[in-house]
């Protein structure tokens, strides 16, 4: 899977998890109780993963835009013109 796909899978999973945990927390007096470390770990993993793949996706997109826009070639041409 590429970074974009992983980001667009983990992001909604994080949102759905937040809604489910909120719903369970509102319905149960003793939630999270002994499951607090597990809930914390789950959200730490999801937030860390979503952030990581968002950064990777933005870097991929940036390099793709540079390649498709001709910036490297234009930069080389400008540097050649300056050196002459």
CA atoms within 13 A on the CB side of 58: 5
Taking the C-alpha atoms of residue 19 and residue 13, their distance in angstroms, rounded to an integer, is 10
- What does the pLDDT look like over 17-72, one tens digit per residue? 999 999 999 999 999 899 999 999 999 999 999 999 999 888 877 776 666 665 56
pTM, two decimal places: 0.69
Q: Cβ distance 4 to 60 under 8 Å?
A: yes
Q: DSSP letter at 32?
A: S
Residues 31/13, Cβ–Cβ less than 8 Å: no
């Amino acid at each position: 899977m590429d970074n974009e796909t992983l980001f667009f899978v983990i992001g909604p999973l994080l949102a759905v998890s937040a809604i489910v945990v909120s719903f369970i927390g509102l319905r149960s007096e003793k939630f999270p109780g002994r499951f607090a470390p597990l809930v914390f770990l789950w959200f730490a993993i999801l937030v860390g993963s979503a952030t990581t793949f968002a950064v990777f996706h933005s870097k991929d997109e940036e390099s793709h835009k540079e390649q498709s826009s001709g910036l490297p070639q234009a930069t080389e041409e400008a540097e050649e013109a300056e050196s002459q």
